[in-house]
Amino acid sequence: MKGPKLETLPLPGMQDLLPADTHAWQFLERAFWDHASLYGYREIRTPILERIEIIDRTSGETSDIVTKEMFDFVDKGERTVVMRPELTAPAMRAVVEYNLCPPSTLLRLAYGGPFFRYGAIQKGRFRQAHQFGIELIGGVGPEADAEVIEFTVRFYEKLGLNNLVVLLNSIGRAECRAKYETVILDHLAPWLKDQETEVQDRARRNPLRILDWKEESIQPLLQTMPPLTDYLEDASKARLDSIRQFLGEVGVAYRLDPSLVRGLDYYTETVFEIQSRHLGAQGSLCGGGRYDNLLAELGGLPTPSVGVGIGIERALIALEAEGFAPLAPRPDVFVISAGKDARDTVRLLTSDLRRAGVRALSDVDGKSLRSQMRQADGSGATFALILGSDELTSGQYQVRALREQETFTVPAGEVVEWISARR
């Protein structure tokens, strides 16, 4: 029943995480959840599939993510569904549905999981990627923005990531942004006239994103354009100033970047991003900001909120560049049978050791003593416990300390405790 050879590679942009990789992931996951609990953030888990409207309405119909990077399809119930391209909107959908954040309350949510974007693939960019995130929902004050930013910076500090740059900006509230967008278009009108219609469309669809454009010919114009800061409402300016003050007070370094905008349309006022010098083109490790209108967009009560998404793959790439190499857990003992007589005892003793909380391995194939010693060595076990007919009759077991190359004799009845104490 052998057909043509199956393609066993994962789909483009998808990754298998092998045992050699998952240890670093587990390390990162533990670090994140420890950190989240320190700040009082509690986990929420939502489905990977979402109704497409949830994403359309929130991410912005003009964003790249919605227009060309959606993993969407029609399910058997003829619903158009999408593999979530980010985690904030789904979490907020749940907040609305279960009214998790009634008026005048504060809600701290954390999450971690996969998201999907059908985009180009390169270093640090996948079609299935993973992120952690937190959302501080119902927080109006600039303290909320500062808390989320500091949370993120401290998380990276704990991981041992240095060489980070925190970029900070305010893109204002909707009214102010609308005003500024006409300023942008006016300023660029002479230049835009000579561009292809595709470029003109792109500009009109979302003028703010022009700040981000990398085209050479537009750079001089961007230089002379009045900054968005000039058009911010007083309240937005005051918020930005307070955030800067709060970050300064706790020693979080940042850089104001007036050209920082985000790819998702739901942000208001505060936006920030943290970059690593290690990643080059994909320098952004995480991105976040304030989204005061998102809950209302989803049909909930207007609820000011701020959050961040932290890319797991990118954190790992940055960690690796810093020389981070997590140690795989090693067995405490490898139990070896010298000759067939001891196999039963080996099996039972291994079971006893494990039940006592000792990481114990043994051979399952009746291999030679030498082979078992090699397995023990290769496993990185601290001890090799050797059982043969001599040991069975004398009741004195031999325990070999593989690193120290010393052999101890331990009475059979005490061997579990002996190893347990020394592992």
Single out the segment in contact with RNA by CB under 7 A; choices: 45-53, 149-157, 279-287, 410-418. Answer: 279-287
Is 287 strand, coil or helix? Answer: strand
CB 331 within 8 A of CB 313: no
Residues contacting RNA: total by CB under 7 A: 70
- Of the candidates 139, 142, 172, 263, which one interacts with RNA according to CB under 7 A? 263
CA atoms lying within 13 Å on the CB side of residue 282: 15
Rounded to a whole number of angstroms, the minimum distance from the CB of residue 174 to RNA is 18
DSSP symbols for 365-384: S---HHHHHHHHHHHT-SEE
- Of the candidates 150, 269, 273, 332, which one interacts with RNA according to CB under 7 A? 273
Q: Judged by CB, which is closer to RNA: 242, or 345?
A: 345
Rounded to a whole number of angstroms, the minimum distance from the CB of residue 381 to RNA is 8
- Of the candidates 386, 415, 416, 419, which one interacts with RNA according to CB under 7 A? 386
Rounded to a whole number of angstroms, the minimum distance from the CB of residue 190 to RNA is 20
CB 176 within 8 A of CB 240: no
Rounded to a whole number of angstroms, the minimum distance from the CB of residue 147 to RNA is 19
Strand boundaries in 124-197, DSSP class E: 128-137, 164-170
Rounded to a whole number of angstroms, the minimum distance from the CB of residue 6 to RNA is 12
Amino acid identity of residue 29, one-letter, is E
Q: Judged by CB, which is closer to RNA: 323, or 378?
A: 378
- Of the candidates 16, 75, 327, 403, which one interacts with RNA according to CB under 7 A? 403
Task: Report if residue 378 touches RNA, rule: CB under 7 A.
Answer: yes
Closest CA to 109 of 243, 300, 307: 307
Task: Report if residue 90 touches RNA, rule: CB under 7 A.
Answer: no
- Of the candidates 218, 285, 333, 416, which one interacts with RNA according to CB under 7 A? 285
Task: Report if residue 3 touches RNA, rule: CB under 7 A.
Answer: no
Q: Judged by CB, which is closer to RNA: 140, or 256?
A: 256
- Of the candidates 169, 388, 415, 419, which one interacts with RNA according to CB under 7 A? 388
Separation in Å, CA 348 to CA 42, 67, 355, 362:
42, 61, 11, 11
- Of the candidates 1, 6, 120, 421, which one interacts with RNA according to CB under 7 A? 120
Only one residue has tokens 């005003």, namely: 179
Task: Report if residue 407 touches RNA, rule: CB under 7 A.
Answer: yes
Q: Which bin fits 40, alpha (ψ -120 to 50), beta or left (φ > 0)?
A: left
CA atoms lying within 13 Å on the CB side of residue 331: 21
Q: How many CB atoms lie within 10 A of CB 355?
A: 10
Rounded to a whole number of angstroms, the minimum distance from the CB of residue 20 to RNA is 11
Sheet of strand 360-362, all strands in order from the earlier edge strand to the far edge: 360-362, 333-338, 383-388, 396-401, 406-411
x/- mask, RNA, residues 223-262, rule CB under 7 A, reads --------------------------------------xx
Single out the segment in contact with RNA by CB under 7 A; choices: 119-127, 144-152, 171-179, 250-258. Answer: 119-127
Burial-class residue 423 by CB neighbours within 10 Å (0-12, 13-18, 19+).
middle
x/- mask, RNA, residues 183-222, rule CB under 7 A, reads --------------------------x--xxx--------
CB 287 within 8 A of CB 134: no
Q: Judged by CB, which is closer to RNA: 93, or 262?
A: 262
Task: Report if residue 2 touches RNA, rule: CB under 7 A.
Answer: no
- Of the candidates 117, 239, 278, 290, which one interacts with RNA according to CB under 7 A? 117
Only one residue has tokens 């904030």, namely: 88
Paired tokens of 125: 């960019």
Task: Report if residue 64 touches RNA, rule: CB under 7 A.
Answer: yes
Residue 128's DSSP bridge partners are 116
Is 276 strand, coil or helix? Answer: strand
Torsion over CA of 24, 28, 34 and 38, rounded to 10 degrees?
Answer: 150
Contacts to RNA from residues 317-376, by CB under 7 A = 338-339, 367-371, 373-376
Contact residues toward RNA (CB under 7 A) are 4-5, 7, 9, 12-13, 63-65, 86, 117, 119-127, 129, 131, 209, 212-214, 261-264, 273, 280-287, 309-311, 313-314, 338-339, 367-371, 373-378, 384, 386-391, 398, 400, 402-403, 405, 407
